[in-house]
Amino acid sequence: MGFATGDRSRDNAGILWDGKRGGRKTPPHKESGMHLYRKAIAPVGPQRGLNHAGRVDAAPFGRSEAGGPEVSAFVLDNGLDVVVVPDHRAPVATHMVWYRNGSADDPIGQSGIAHFLEHLMFKGTERHPAGAFSKAVSSLGGQENAFTSYDYTAYFQRVARDHLSTMMAFEADRMSGLVLDDAVVAPERDVVLEERRMRVETDPSAQLSEAMSASLFVHHPYGIPIIGWMHEIEELNRTHAIDYYKRFYTPENAILVVAGDVTPDEVRRLAEDTYGRVTPQGARPLRTRPREPEPRAMRRIAVADPKVEQPTLQRLYLTPSCMTARDGEGYALELLAEVVGGGSTSFLYRKLVLEMGVAVNAGAWYMGSAMDDTRFAVYAVPAEGVTLEALEEHIDRVLRRVPEALGAEAIERAKIRLMAETVYSSDSQSSLARIYGSALAIGETVEEVRRWPVEIEAVTHDRLVAVAARYLVPARSVTGYLTKARDPDVAIAETALILRAALDGGAFAKRRIKELPMNLAETGTRTATSPTQALPLAAAPGIEAWHVASPVVPMIALSFTFEGGAAQDAEGKAGTAQMMARLLDEGAGDLDSDAFQEALAARAIELSFHTGPDSIGGSLKTLLTHADEAIRLLALSLAEPRFDQPSIERVRAQMIASLRYQQNDPGVLASRRYFREAFPGMPTAAPRRAPSRPCRRSPETTSSPCTGP
């Protein structure tokens, strides 16, 4: 259980980490967050939903040449909206129920009630005692979770298709039969209070995020944290929970999304036998929210704390969302974020990190998927010796030059990357279920989700210039500083100190890569294919390879692992394997770091490497049309990595900054201490990685503290 934070996975303060460069968008939460791009749909009227959608004979984001699932939508007699996304590659189904209510619908003075009720939904019904549902999911080998955002609350299970009816029966039962008494409510309220203490009260980055949201949204409930204010959570009681439950947890206020090895007729029959028995309340609950006034003054927030080891800077701009934007502006803001701050080839990263050298990371994101006005964010992590004040001056100068970034080539490349993300997202049934569920919960239609790529493609240079000039202005902004308090300095993580002495100019890493027992430049011969089975390939000596064929999505996903890892780091050079892995795509062959990243970005190829205690691995995603070039670049990175000194210094600085930033997180510190005590002297006891690649936010980041749009 948790609360969603927006459109891309990120840490508490919105500073997006990636182990290197500016990073592509790899989420840290594979099941809870998936790889969801942000949709920015044009405005639609009230009470839009499946009744206006009908049947869409297309893939989720437009049918590809390889075909795609035919998305079906219908409504049960009691008002429950149902969406079915077939995916017959494996006998698995993802079952999700979305309620059209989130923390922005909390009554005044009862902040956190939506999230609190999400917890209480696991406490049992008259038919099933507390824990019975979760035990059933576990006994069937399934997965489950739930999350609350500002605009919706959702519950999901992933099970073998044969158990879909069981999940429906359980979920339908708690839609109307939840039992709430003081013996259940009071202890669970204490759990939520402790959750807030752990995630917010002890974390200065979360405190900054809360303060910035409250300053950006002075009148709208998006300025109130999803988990709620501490003093109001303390006052939540059984009556509050029951009233909220009766108001929002009704079939006409819910959306059922089923993705997987199912047919529309099968889902309809099962839904009618389970959800169809739930009595509706009549009309869908009215969601009334105050409108945020037009901002007129730049605001500044500063949080200083002794625990902060890595200063960070974030700026939020108040902008329209997909539901409040004027004609086409939402799509333009989505594309603008990609051009300006979407990874290591973006304008912000190039200027601040590569050219000026004043930051070790920088980027931007837009949270378009919201019912009401939302945020466009810019972030940066200063380089050693650079003050936040100086960094902010550089950011301002760069942002004033944004029109320079909006050349035809840059716009086209950004569009290609966003189109590729839609294809990559289509490769996951869980991702598809989340995309449709979150969109419909805020008022979009199936047709609008399907048309997203078409609308992005239609964005023009003039529209981008116009939205940048209209919305990226000081008066619409809140700037946040996270700094260390003026207390005696706390020594930075010992691993960061070790990293400064590591690598010896990259010589050790070059030797390590040459010793890897694998050469992916050699192409194996496929012996068989199957849409549901991993079949062995006849490959070059030393390679063990398997292949899973699927005609559903026009892409190739490659995962690979080498023998090696942190356990083989030399004494006194902990972090060598990790740094080597991060340097593999920082230039190879005759391509320096910039040229290599440009080659990846121009074709929307996603290439990443990672390190474990006993292995070094990586992954590659590419569209079929770019497969040959993707494999060539992968082979080049493995066979001829450059390990140029500037790249080594930049990656080293990013790793140290990431390790410092982890000092803000009590959970990370506790985990690190545990492994040191449990495995003294072993490689497992040392930190093996900094936070994952800086990725953009995803609507269902269930393990991150909430800060909303």
Distance, CA of 633 to CA of 461 (rounded, Å): 31
DSSP character string of 91-148: SEEEEEEEES--GGGSPTT-TTHHHHHHHHTTSBBSSSBTTHHHHHHHHTT-EEEEEE
Distance, CA of 123 to CA of 145 (rounded, Å): 14
Interval 194-206 mean pLDDT: 93
- 518-526 long-range CB contacts below 8 Å, 24 or more apart? 518/542, 518/543, 518/560, 518/562, 518/638, 519/543, 519/635, 519/638, 519/639, 520/560, 520/631, 520/634, 520/635, 520/638, 521/635, 521/638, 521/639, 523/631
308, HSE (Cβ side, Cα atoms, 13 Å): 23
Both tokens assigned to 131: 């824990």
Q: Do the beta carbons of residue 74 and residue 272 sit within 8 Å?
A: no
With 60 as the cut, is the pLDDT of residue 45 above it? no
Both tokens assigned to 369: 């998927």
Q: What is the Cα 358 distance to its own chain's centre?
A: 27
Interval 594-599 mean pLDDT: 88
For 190, other C-beta atoms within 10 Å of its C-beta total 11
With 90 as the cut, is the pLDDT of residue 8 above it? no
575 dihedral zone (left: phi>0; alpha: psi -120 to 50; beta): left
Q: Which pLDDT score, from 0 to 100, does residue 372 have?
A: 97
Average model confidence (pLDDT) for the chain? 81
pLDDT, tens digit (0-9, with 9 covering 90-100), for 510-533: 443 344 333 333 333 333 334 456
What's the one-letter identity of residue 34? Answer: M
With 60 as the cut, is the pLDDT of residue 450 above it? yes
Q: Which band of pLDDT confidence, cut at 50, 70 and 90, is reported for residue 438?
A: very high
User: Domain 299-428+439-484, CATH 3.30.830.10 — does that match?
Assistant: yes
- Top-level CATH class of 494-685? alpha beta
Q: Which pLDDT score, from 0 to 100, does residue 169 have?
A: 97
Distance, CA of 316 to CA of 380 (rounded, Å): 12
Q: What is the Cα 303 distance to its own chain's centre?
A: 25
Q: Which band of pLDDT confidence, cut at 50, 70 and 90, is reported for residue 699?
A: very low
pLDDT, tens digit (0-9, with 9 covering 90-100), for 69-107: 689 999 999 999 999 999 999 999 999 999 999 999 999
Interval 232-244 mean pLDDT: 97
Interval 421-437 mean pLDDT: 91
With 50 as the cut, is the pLDDT of residue 499 above it? no
Kindly state the helix (H) or strand (E) to which residue 661 belongs, with its residue range.
Answer: helix 645-662
pLDDT, tens digit (0-9, with 9 covering 90-100), for 132-183: 999 999 999 999 999 999 999 999 999 999 999 999 999 999 999 999 999 9
Question: What CATH number belongs to 59-277?
Answer: 3.30.830.10
Residues above pLDDT 90, as percent of the chain: 56
Write the CB contacts of 129 (distance below 8 Å, at least 6 apart in sequence).
Answer: none
Chain region(s) in the chain for CATH 3.30.830.10? 59-277, 299-428+439-484, 494-685
306, HSE (Cβ side, Cα atoms, 13 Å): 5
Q: Which pLDDT score, from 0 to 100, does residue 538 have?
A: 67
Both tokens assigned to 123: 């406490």
Q: Which band of pLDDT confidence, cut at 50, 70 and 90, is reported for residue 579?
A: confident
Q: Which pLDDT score, from 0 to 100, does residue 2 have?
A: 66
Distance, CA of 690 to CA of 668 (rounded, Å): 10
Q: Do the beta carbons of residue 574 and residue 442 sit within 8 Å?
A: no
Identify which of 34, 49, 141 has the alpha carbon closest to the alpha carbon of residue 98.
49
Give the residue with greater pLDDT, 204 vs 40.
Answer: 204
Q: Which neighbouring-strand residues pair with 607?
A: 620
Distance, CA of 342 to CA of 29 (rounded, Å): 19
Q: Do the beta carbons of residue 341 and residue 347 sit within 8 Å?
A: yes
Q: Which band of pLDDT confidence, cut at 50, 70 and 90, is reported for residue 679?
A: confident
Identify which of 38, 17, 29 has the alpha carbon closest to the alpha carbon of residue 418.
38
Rounded to 5°, the CA angle 94-257-161 comes to: 35
The widest CA-to-CA distance across the chain, in whole angstroms, is: 71
Q: Which neighbouring-strand residues pair with 125?
A: 178
Identify which of 656, 584, 662 has the alpha carbon closest to the alpha carbon of residue 360.
656
Q: Which pLDDT score, from 0 to 100, does residue 486 have?
A: 64
pLDDT, tens digit (0-9, with 9 covering 90-100), for 264-292: 999 999 999 999 999 999 899 999 899 99
Measured CA distances, 601 to 342, 456, 522 (Å): 10, 18, 24
The H helix count followed by the E strand count for the chain is: 24, 17
Residue 302, SS3 per DSSP: strand
Write the CB contacts of 298 (distance below 8 Å, at least 6 apart in sequence).
Answer: 474, 475, 477, 478, 479
Residue 648, SS3 per DSSP: helix
The pairing of beta strand 299-305 with beta strand 477-484: parallel
With 60 as the cut, is the pLDDT of residue 709 above it? no
Distance, CA of 240 to CA of 248 (rounded, Å): 12
Helices (H), 326-387: 329-341, 347-349
Indicate which residues carry an active-site annotation. 118
Give the residue with greater pLDDT, 358 vs 515.
Answer: 358
Residue 23, SS3 per DSSP: coil
pLDDT, tens digit (0-9, with 9 covering 90-100), for 12-29: 333 333 333 343 333 222
